[in-house]
Structure 1
Amino acid sequence: MALSIRLSRGGAKKRPVYRIVVADSRAPRDGRFIEKLGTYNPLLPKDSAERVTLDSDRAKHWLSVGAQPTDRVARFLDAAGLLKRDARSNPKKAEPGEKARERAEMRAQKAAEAAEAAAAAAAAPAEEAPAQDAPAEAAESAEA
């Protein structure tokens, strides 16, 4: 029987409270468990003592007989000093996906085309536009 130390959800809708339990890995999340080791209330502040309660002696026992903690429970056990958890690294997490890269390339291409068009317009000799102020100048000279 594969044992796991995991969270079992309780509480009302939008108000979760979790039990830290030892259960058969094939049992449902909120179903049958072997022993309750503690509780976890994510709604409490992180520095609160009641946020995570854990029976460390029983947790040591279950770890010694081969129970495997989930990632979240491994964090609790590491904080309690019962288990050394390796830091996880996912360097590809911050990289954009394929579609986002395509959109970024299209934006860069459009920006380059716009910059080329602006440079071409600035380099071309400015043709003199017909005087738009001619009627205003004629009115001023007529008044004088």
Structure 2
Amino acid sequence: MSNRIKHSGIIEAIDGEYVRVRILQTSACAQCKIAGHCNSSESKEKMIDVYNVSDTSRLKVGDEIIVTASTRMAVSALIIGFGLPLIVLIAVIIIVRFMTSDEIMAALCGLATLVPYYILVWLVREKLRVRMAFEIE
């Protein structure tokens, strides 16, 4: 198994060392031969920002390129975006439920703790962007 995730895409914009790439993200069954006759096949266009591209002179808008990311980066993004908030939510619900015996209060407190969590993630987004960067192959 490869330790890189690869997507082909088309360059939409270039600005200095920044490149915006449009990719077509497809589900596994979207490439099936009978996907056109099935409601479960799905594909979406996504925009990916690639920063710190060292040589943009060889690139131009409309070029087809390969964008890569490490699987470690993808796992880190999933943990930060979904794993840690789930753990925080469940922990707060359990603690508040144990302390107050009020299920509604526990649920509201659990949801309320996600607000500062995601604000913190938003505040450190530049550090995360550097750590979790896409690359052009």
TM-score bin (small chain): under 0.3
Q: Which has the higher contact order (CA 8 A, sep 6+)?
A: 2
> TM-score w.r.t. structure 2 length?
0.22
Structure number with larger C-alpha Rg: 1
> TM-score w.r.t. structure 1 length?
0.21
**Greater percentage in helix:** 2
